[in-house]
Chains A and B, each alone.
Chain A
Amino acid sequence: MSEAVQPFTTIGHVTPRVDAIARVTGQARYTNDLKLPGMLYARVLRSPHPHARIRHIDTREAARLPGVRAVITHENAQVVWGAGAVAGGRQYSDAIKEITRQRRYIFNNPVRCVGDAVAAVAATDRHIAEQALALIQIDYELLPFVLEPEAALAADAPRIWPEGNLCLDVHNQAAPVVAEHGDLAAGFAAAEQVFEQRYDTGFVHNAQLEPRCALAHWQGETLTLYTPTQGIANCRHDMARDLGLEDQHVRVVCHYMGGGFGNKNQNQDADLIAAILARHTNAPVMLEYTRRDDWLGMHGRWPTVQQYTVGVKHDGTVTAIQLIGFSGMGPYRKNAGGIGGLELYACPNRSRSLSPVYTNRTTSGNFRAPSEPHGVFGIESIMDDIAYTLGMDPVAFTFKNMLRPTAEQPFTNYSLDACIQMGVEQFGWQARRNVIAGSDAGPIKRGAGFSFMMFRAALGMSSAIVQVDARQRYTLFVGVTDVGPGAKTTMGMIAAEALGVPLSQVEVVSGDTDRCPYSVGESGSRTTIMTGMAVVEAVKDLQQQIAARGMPTGDDILIASATPSPTIEGKMRQCFGAHFVEVEVDTRLGTTRIIKYVAIHESGRIINPQTARDQIRGAVIQGIGQALHEDLLYDPASGQPLTTGYYRARHLTHLDVPTIEVHFLEVDDGYGPFGAKTVGESGIILAPAAVANAIFNATGKRMTSLPITRDKLLGAMA
């Protein structure tokens, strides 16, 4: 049940991060800051072609270069990177190993995109390693390539895999992902007007500021891997599986990392390449990616094509929704390729057919709310169009059609109405919105748009250990690495609150699989909920021990661990949100400026108001970048990527960024640690939709292609 939220002692108060001093003094050691005695440096050679077979690879001259200690290619290092494809990671199970034919290796032949790794060198010096790359001679047989998902599904398209270009799923089947509810035909029959629109969204690189790197070191049969990862436990298990080791012979360490937003979970091929070079050379190996390596060798949000057909009655009731979607996954299906959004609507007659498709572009993968911002942009663009065509306020249209709890599907709590209403008031929706889109005289046209969401806040399994010593100092062991949201601090605050002690009496140990229990990994908006629950349960266990045996004395400690796997008994547990945006579009230049941005979020009880607010603000700004600028353009004639890097993809700078106003609606639904839900991904989901709707309201032109760059706006207004 929801209750009005009263502040606790520690939780709910602005709290500086426990490691803040290290971060502002340069003392925080990131992976590339580490040095081990005798450490070698490694570089990766990448394919210059979008699709090619390696006929012959000659590494002899490279290997002879003084200072070079190892050169590896697909010929002498054939290792499957399980997490790199076919819904990998823990799902690259023994069962799927039996049936799959589409394996992703650390070095693949044929190479299937510009940037696909073909070789790696370890040398005593970075410069020598780079020179050695240049001495590797490769005879490529060029193959035809295809860059767009719909073209890749044509009958005569070049085959990226022998089985065709529709991606395989975890059952090794090539089939669109279909979800159907109700009776679509009946829904369209009941409609009084039918709308159709096609949208496309670009590839958005995760673009974290820390380029990929990995430091691998063997001691006997035990591997220690220092790597920037969001999930040390997942990474360890993946490394063990891929190298044929037991988990306990792999140690993964990450104390600080420079962002990831979803491309640093599980293990990455960089980790495997470093480990193999380290084994070949019997020395620690530091593999470093250049910024271009990272752009082409890591991943970004899948580009999509979305075809919507929506049936509606004249009173605004939506009777049928159909989505036919395509996701460009690159040559390997590293992650799901989902397109969310339909589930926001109550319409009982819905159909989504989603085809994840192989293309010869760089790999697509998870980026903050992986299935959401592009899908929400699609569906809320067409619904916004419908509202304006019917002469309805989009807010009223949304209230009429958004999903609400039912007897069959209860929620733990529901506050979408309240979020939208709060936004209407805080933003000044009625004053800022044009009733007729595009009615502003210009040449600088103002307008306002809004979008709304629900997002998973589900419970799940994770672990925590807490101990106390004779001086009543508590130590919390959690397998988090703190990618930026401040998980170390959040977990410490939860422990402090549960223990009834100040945060200063709790030390948080994290980032090392040798010391920390399993954590689900900081992705998917799960750490606060799942690892936080484990912290609460571990503290309860410790308090029971203290009650039974008293505080420890001398050198004794008491120690408790918990691995809860809570459920929500069939209810839906969601976060809720609504974003309202006002823009100015200069119709002469095609530029868009954001004047006001209000983000309303209900994310349960907020543990740390400051880090929570900045998670939303940061995610919103990333979403604005997706809406207006970021893409990875390819030359269709050569298959070469054109906009690799920050300058070319036009990432937002200080001068581009408006002040984001964030309001949290706090409730405690009785689940999660102290009623906390999740904040990490929510902020990005609505920005592209809200900005696009604001641009429509300002100009009267519906922009159906992300990013909404100047050339597209000028073209629409011509």
Chain B
Amino acid sequence: MGDTSAGSSSPQEGHPTAPSHRTGLEGAGLTPAATASAMTAPSRTAISLTVNGVRHRVTVEDRWTLVGLLRDHLDLTGTKIGCDRSECGACTVLMDGKPVYACCQLAVWADGADVHTVEGLAHDGRLTPLQQAFIDHNAPQCGFCTPGQLMTATALLHTVPRPDAAQVKQALVGVLCRCSNYNAIVEAVVAAGAQQGGAA
């Protein structure tokens, strides 16, 4: 793959021999191998998935991530990309009820899945008790991690109706907040659970 340039002593940024999750997949046999210099059309797969209750049949490139499918091709930009490499949790969505990092799910793996994003929480404009609790407790500061916190907390409230602060922190540990509004986020989730007994 490509030449290393004379005189440089380490691989360039973005060089194909530098590992990335996309090129790594080729070695794992999950995509057809691409030759070094030929630009072949990316391979595609037809999938069917449900997002926020709506069925989509879509042909995806095998290299697309789920978050890329949601944001770029289904116009659901509520799910954010904070790192694209599974260390921040901003991209958390629910897949068959479980919180997953959408940046580390290939779109093709979502074939047949039931996906829920932040846009699907409110129904007919009515916010869930959790969303209202986020507003009441000032849980979003810059708001960028808010969808990830909301989706993870939604999953928690389905399984633990009235979590205490320790349970909330344990469940949400995978979603970072650099504004560090952690105290308010926990207070909001605990309040939502206490108020509704878990109906989210």
> Given A26-B117, A209-B176 in contact, is the A48-B144 Cβ separation under 8 Å?
no
CB distance from B171 to the nearest CB of A (A): 8
Q: With A137-B3, A142-B9, A646-B83 known to touch, is A16 a contact of B176 (CB < 8 Å)?
A: no
Ordered nearest first, which 9 A-B pairs have the shortest CB separation?
A26-B78, A258-B144, A621-B180, A484-B142, A33-B77, A484-B141, A26-B118, A133-B14, A23-B143
Q: A654's closest neighbor in chain B, by CB?
A: B169
Given contacts A127-B63, A646-B88, contact A46 B178 (CB under 8 A): no
How far is the CB of B77 from the nearest CB of chain A, in Å? 4
Q: Does the CB pair B13–A45 fall under 8 Å?
A: yes
Which of A378-386, A611-619, A701-709 is found at the contact surface with chain B?
A: A611-619
Contact flags (1/0) for A30-45 with B, using CB distance below 8 Å?
1011000000000101
Comparing A243-251, A305-313, A655-663, the segment that makes contact with chain B is A655-663
0 or 1 for each of A13-33: is its CB under 8 Å from B? (1 = yes): 000110011011111111011
How long is the Cα–Cα vector from A651 to B13 in the complex, in angstroms? 25
Task: List the B residue with the shortest CB-CB distance to A261.
Answer: B178
Query: Can you report 15 A-B residue pairs in the complex whose CB atoms are below 8 A from each other?
Result: A23-B134, A23-B146, A24-B150, A25-B122, A43-B14, A133-B14, A207-B178, A610-B137, A614-B141, A614-B183, A621-B182, A622-B178, A654-B173, A657-B182, A659-B165
Query: Is the pair B7, A139 in contact by a Cβ cutoff of 8 Å?
Result: yes
**CB-based contact B179/A259 at 8 Å:** yes
**Beyond A23-B140, A259-B142, A654-B168, is A46–B176 a contact (Cβ under 8 Å)?**
no
Chain A nearest CB, measured from B143 CB (Å): 4
Beta-carbon contacts of B108-145 to A below 8 Å, as 1s and 0s?
00000000011101100001000100111111111111
Chain A residue nearest to B119 (CB atoms) is: A26
Residue of B nearest to A22 (CB): B143
**B142 adjacent to A26 (CB under 8 Å):** no
A25 B131 Cβ-Cβ under 8 A: yes
Q: With the chains together, A422 CA to B174 CA distance in Å?
A: 36
Contacts of B119 in A (CB 8 A): 25-27
* A174→B76 CA distance, assembly (Å): 51
Least Cβ distance of B17 to chain A in Å? Answer: 9
**Complex-state Cα separation, A574 to B79, whole angstroms:** 40
Contacts of B173 in A (CB 8 A): 653-655
Q: Which residues of A contact B14 (CB under 8 A)?
A: 43, 45, 130, 133-134
Contact B2 A135 (CB under 8 A): yes
A46 to B8, CA, bound (A): 13
Cβ of A485 within 8 Å of any chain B Cβ, yes or no, is yes
Does A102 touch B at the CB level, under 8 Å? Answer: no
A residues apposed to B, CB below 8 Å? 16-17, 20-21, 23-30, 32-33, 43, 45-49, 52, 55, 65-66, 127, 130-131, 133-142, 207-211, 256-259, 261, 290-291, 483-486, 610-611, 614, 617-622, 625, 638, 640, 645-647, 651-655, 657, 659-660
Residue of A nearest to B172 (CB): A654
Cβ-closest chain A residue relative to B77: A33
Taken together as a complex, chains A and B put the C-alpha atoms of A655 and B82 apart, in Å, by: 20
B138 touches A291 (CB 8 A): no
Q: Report yes or no: A618 in contact with B181, Cβ–Cβ below 8 A.
A: yes
* Across-interface contacts of B32 in A (CB, < 8 A): none
Nearest-Cβ distance from residue B175 to partner chain A, whole angstroms: 8
Distance between A308 CB and nearest chain B CB, rounded to angstroms: 29
Interface size in chain B (residues, C-beta < 8 A): 74
Question: Is there an interface contact between B83 and A258, defined as CB atoms closer than 8 Å?
Answer: no
| CA gap between A48 and B71 in the complex, in Å | 31
A640 CB, min distance to chain B CBs, angstroms: 8
Contact flag A48-B16 (CB < 8 Å), given A140-B5, A654-B173, A655-B169: no
Give the chain B neighbours of A483 by CB distance below 8 A. 142
Asked if B141 and A209 make an inter-chain contact with CB atoms under 8 angstroms apart, the answer reads no
Distance A290 CA – B83 CA, assembled complex (angstroms) = 7
Q: Are B10 and A291 in contact (CB under 8 A)?
A: no
> Are B83 and A291 touching (Cβ within 8 A)?
yes
Cβ of B158 < 8 Å from any Cβ of A? no
A378 to B175, CA, bound (A): 33
CA–CA, A30 and B185, complex, Å: 21
CB <8 Å contact, B180 and A652: yes
Whether B90 contacts A209 by the Cβ 8 Å rule is yes
Among A142, A484, A618, A622, which residue has its beta carbon within 8 angstroms of that of B7?
Answer: A142
Contact of B81 among A32, A49, A638, A640 (CB under 8 A): A32
- Considering the chains assembled together, what is the distance between the CA atoms of A25 and B3 in angstroms? 47
Task: Tell whether, in the assembled complex, residue B84 and residue A291 are in contact, meaning their CB atoms are under 8 Å apart.
Answer: yes
List chain A residues, Cβ under 8 A from B7: 55, 139-142
B186 proximal to A (CB < 8 A): yes
B26 close to chain A: CB less than 8 A: no
Q: Tell me which of A52, A211, A614 contacts B138 (CB under 8 A).
A: A614
Residues in B with CB closer than 8 Å to A27 are 78, 119
Whether A48 and B11, one on each chain, are in contact in the complex, defined by CB atoms closer than 8 angstroms, is: yes
B180 & A138 in contact (Cβ 8 Å cutoff): no
Which residues from B are CB-within-8-Å of A210?
80, 82, 142, 144
**Complex Cα distance A646/B87, Å?**
6
Contacts of B197 in A (CB 8 A): none
CB distance B180 to A622 under 8 Å? Answer: yes
B12 contacts A45, C-beta separation under 8 Å: yes
Instruction: Check if B127 sits within 8 Å of A25, measured CB to CB.
Output: yes
CA distance A208 to B147 in the complex (A): 16
With a cutoff of 8 Å between Cβ atoms, the chain A residues found around residue B9 in the complex are 49, 142
Q: Is the CB of B142 within 8 A of A209?
A: yes
* Interface flag for B184 (CB, 8 Å): yes
> Which residues of chain A are near B42, meaning CB under 8 Å?
127
- Please name all residues of chain A whose beta carbon is closer than 8 Å to the beta carbon of B35 when the two chains form the complex: none
Give, as a whole number of angstroms, the nearest-CB distance from A44 to chain B.
9
Chain B residue at smallest Cβ distance from A290: B84
Q: Point out the residues of chain A lying under 8 angstroms from B83, CB to CB.
A: 211, 291, 645-646
A259 touches B144 (CB 8 A): yes
On chain B, the residues within 8 Å of A485 by CB distance are 141
Contact A66/B77 with A140-B5, A291-B84, A659-B183 known, Cβ cut-off 8 Å: no
Question: What's the Cα separation between A133 and B168 when bound, in Å?
Answer: 42
Complex Cα–Cα for A441 and B125 (A): 58
Query: A618 touches which one: B88, B127, B147, B180 (CB < 8 A)?
Result: B180
Query: Quick one: given A48-B12, A211-B83, are A617 and B142 in contact (CB under 8 Å)?
Result: no
Tell me whether B183 and A660 are in contact (CB under 8 A).
yes
Chain B residues with CB under 8 Å of A211's CB are 81-83
Question: For residue A48, which residues in chain B have a CB less than 8 angstroms away from its CB?
Answer: 8, 10-13
Contact (Cβ within 8 A) B12 A258 = no
Q: Which of A49, A136, A258 has the most CB of B within 10 A?
A: A258
Which has the most chain A C-beta neighbours within 10 Å: B1, B71, B138, B176? B138
Count chain A CB atoms within 10 A of each CB in B136, B173, B182 and give the residue with the most: B182
Report the minimal beta-carbon distance from A329 to chain B, rounded to whole angstroms: 23
